Amino acid sequence: MASLQALRRKITAVKNTQKITKAMKMVAASKLRRAQERILAARPYAVRVRALLERVSQRVDRAAHPLFAKRPGHKVVVAAVTSDRGLCGAFNANVLRKAVEIIREHEARGAQVSVAIVGRKGVDFFKRRPWPIFRQWPGVFDRLTFEHAEDIGQDLIEEYTKGSFDEFYTVYNKFKSVMQQELLVRKTLPLELDPAEAAPNQAEWGGYLYEPSGKEFLNALPQLVYILTYRVLLESAAAEQAARMTAMDGAVKNAGELIKKQTLYYNKTRQAAITKELLDIVGGAEALK
What confidence score (pLDDT) does residue 19 get?
Answer: 92
- Spatial contact of 255 and 77, defined as CB atoms under 8 Å apart: no
Q: Which is higher by pLDDT, 2 or 105?
A: 105
Amino acid (1-letter code) at residue 144: L
Between the CA of residue 95 and those of 86, 157, 201, 212, 258, what are the distances in Å?
A: 13, 23, 34, 41, 31
Between CA 187 and CA 170 the distance in angstroms is: 6
Adjacency order of strands within the sheet including 167-177? 133-137, 112-118, 75-81, 167-177, 180-189
User: 184 pairs with which residues across the strands?
Assistant: 172
Find out whether the peptide bond into 190 is cis, omega within 30 degrees of 0.
Answer: yes
Pairing of strands 167-177, 133-137: unpaired
Between the CA of residue 14 and those of 26, 251, 254, what are the distances in Å?
A: 18, 11, 10
pLDDT in tens, 47-59: 888 887 777 766 6
Mean pLDDT of 251-268: 90
What confidence score (pLDDT) does residue 8 get?
Answer: 87
The lowest-confidence range among 1-10, 34-43, 166-175, 249-258 is: 1-10
What confidence score (pLDDT) does residue 209 get?
Answer: 66
What confidence score (pLDDT) does residue 163 get?
Answer: 86
What confidence score (pLDDT) does residue 202 get?
Answer: 43
What confidence score (pLDDT) does residue 113 get?
Answer: 93
pLDDT in tens, 81-132: 999 998 898 999 999 999 999 999 999 999 899 999 999 999 999 999 999 9
- Spatial contact of 172 and 184, defined as CB atoms under 8 Å apart: yes
Catalytic site positions:
88
| pTM of the predicted structure, to 2 decimals | 0.82
Between CA 55 and CA 199 the distance in angstroms is: 10
- Whether 217 shows a pLDDT value over 60: the answer reads yes
What confidence score (pLDDT) does residue 208 get?
Answer: 60
- Spatial contact of 279 and 73, defined as CB atoms under 8 Å apart: no
Cβ partners under 8 Å of residue 27, min gap 6: none
Mean pLDDT of 186-213: 60
Q: Please, which pLDDT band fits residue 206 given cuts at 50, 70 and 90?
A: very low
Dmax (CA) of the chain: 113
What confidence score (pLDDT) does residue 231 get?
Answer: 93
Amino acid (1-letter code) at residue 152: I
Mean pLDDT of 149-166: 90
What confidence score (pLDDT) does residue 197 get?
Answer: 47
Mean pLDDT of 149-161: 91
pLDDT in tens, 6-38: 888 888 999 999 999 999 999 999 999 999 999
Domains of the chain listed by start with CATH number: 23-193+207-247 (3.40.1380.10)
Q: Which is higher by pLDDT, 235 or 59?
A: 235
- Whether 242 shows a pLDDT value over 90: the answer reads yes
What confidence score (pLDDT) does residue 276 get?
Answer: 76
- Spatial contact of 67 and 146, defined as CB atoms under 8 Å apart: no
Amino acid (1-letter code) at residue 289: K
How many CB atoms are located within 10 Å of the residue 122 CB?
27
